Amino acid sequence: LTAEDALLAVQYGVDGIMVSNHGGRQLDGVLASIDALGEVVEAVKGRVEVYLDGGVRQGTDVLKALALGAKAVFIGRPVIWGLAYQGRAGVGEGFKMIKEE
């Protein structure tokens, strides 16, 4: 979640970086993934792709992440909510809602 870690990852030859705080469940007081994203994107200067994982609940979250330089986002909880709601069709409905937002 830091520029320093991102630069080390690039130095060691990674193909991409996923910015994630694992839902904040593992570390109390850690930055939200979206808050760390800009620093990581700026540090790697386009040498590797950067992805965001965590905190994506609506379409505006996707837009913010892409505007900050993420190549793509990973969406977890809305998928689970859709499954609980209506199975496969619920997941599709959730993605439709995110896209429309």
Q: Enumerate the H helices of 12-76 as residue ranges.
A: 33-44, 59-67
CA distance 57 to 65: 12
Burial 40-72 (b: 16+ CB within 10 A, else e): bbebbeeebbbbbbbbbeeeebbebbeebbbee
- 97 annotated active-site: no
Catalytic residue among 22, 45, 77, 96: 22
- Give the residue numbers marked as catalytic: 22
